[in-house]
Amino acid sequence: MSMFSKTIQSEIMIRPNASNFNGILSSLTEESLLELGRQIHSYVIRSEMSSNVSVETAIANMYVKCGWLEGARIVFDRMEERNAVVWTGLMVGYTEDEKLEEILELLDCANRAFESIDKPDSAAWTAIICGYAYHGNVFEALTLFKIMQNSGVKPNSITFIAVLAACSHSSLVTEGKQYLESMSKGGPTIDHYDCMIDEEAVFYRRMMPERNLRKEIGCSWITVKGKKHRFIVGDQHHSHIEHIYSKLKELSIFFRDAEDLFLTEEDALNGFPERKEQLLHHNERLTIAFGLISTPGDAPIVVFKNIRACNDCHEFAKHVYVVTGRAIVVRDVESTTPAQ
């Protein structure tokens, strides 16, 4: 209780508001902090913030991050209004815990919730289209997209990413091009083009099952205190993911004058600043960042990768060595490379 009292006094002062609560709750990301989170939740219930959507969302997501999914579901069920963040947070928690029945139930609830909205806005349409698209229900996703357009609601950038991804997964190359060309003001970004890269790839992907072949998902891992920590591109599921991305952003400040760190793939990426952000999310970089924040300062960071490491991430590792002095070794399927 003393820790909670100090937190109240130092962080949310005498008259707490939603921003104060959200700031504190977002920092509670480990199971060891669950009890503190429950105390803050109790305080919220007694305050005028108990029915604030953003605060309720922060509490539910805090319980997910601290590993108490039952508590997150209790908060979720009691919410009078649910936003996309709380739906996604609970879905991620169930996915990490491989709770298949709960996942299906939540998807069913999401569908019913959408159908209950009299006039869905762009966010509501996008959420349900993404849900169908990323779960392989391509026909439903594209049908909903057409209904969305016919209803007069304009799709946003994320809506088009879901639609293009659905087309890519089903080898609907012609339809995907048409959707890409239909994008109006602002135009496509690199994320949209990523969904359309290499039609040739679509051909080979369609052919692979016929030859009993499959593409292995690239991942990297590191062992810390006897436990293996695995990362994939753009990973959001690790319990320390916020600290990991924070470390990457911290490193990027030191690297901002070294353009080759981000763009070693010749000049083909010129004009696509989004590529820099994407490279920061490569699994090798996430693994190295986790190693930096979770191992002693004099210990080498040994990263394993199941496929060949890319040149960009090898350059990144060398820059990290220069800045931090930490020995970094990347072992992939072809070689063991010290980044020194």
Per-residue pLDDT for 256 more than 80?
no
- Give the pair of three-digit tokens for residue 3: 């820790």
Q: What are phi and psi of 228, to 5 degrees?
A: -85, 130
Long-range Cβ contact pairs of 122-126 (< 8 A, separation 24 or more): 122/153, 122/154, 122/155, 122/156, 122/159, 123/84, 125/153, 125/155, 125/159, 126/155, 126/156, 126/158, 126/159, 126/162
Please report the pLDDT score of residue 212 as a whole number: 65
pTM: 0.46
Instruction: List Cβ neighbours of 70 (8 Å cut-off, separation of 6 or more).
Output: none
Say if CB 62 and CB 28 are below 8 A apart. yes
Please report the pLDDT score of residue 97 as a whole number: 74
Stronger pLDDT, 188 or 11, i.e. the higher one: 188
pLDDT 10s digits, 139-181:
888 999 999 999 999 888 878 888 887 887 677 878 888 888 8
Please report the pLDDT score of residue 255 as a whole number: 61
**Please, which pLDDT band fits residue 321 given cuts at 50, 70 and 90?**
confident
Please report the pLDDT score of residue 148 as a whole number: 93
pLDDT 10s digits, 94-138:
767 777 778 778 778 878 888 888 888 887 887 788 777 766 678
- Smallest CA-to-CA distance from 321 within 251, 240, 246, 232 is with 251
CA distance 258 to 320: 12
**Please, which pLDDT band fits residue 48 given cuts at 50, 70 and 90?**
confident
Kindly tell me the burial class for residue 314, based on how many C-beta atoms sit within 10 Å of its own C-beta (0-12, 13-18, 19 or more): middle
| CA 117 from centre of chain | 27
DSSP track, 186-246? T---HHHHHTT--HHHHHHHHHTGGGT--PPPP-EEEEETTEEEEE-TT---STTHHHHHH
Please report the pLDDT score of residue 72 as a whole number: 93
Pairing relationship of beta strands 301-305 and 220-224 according to DSSP bridges: antiparallel
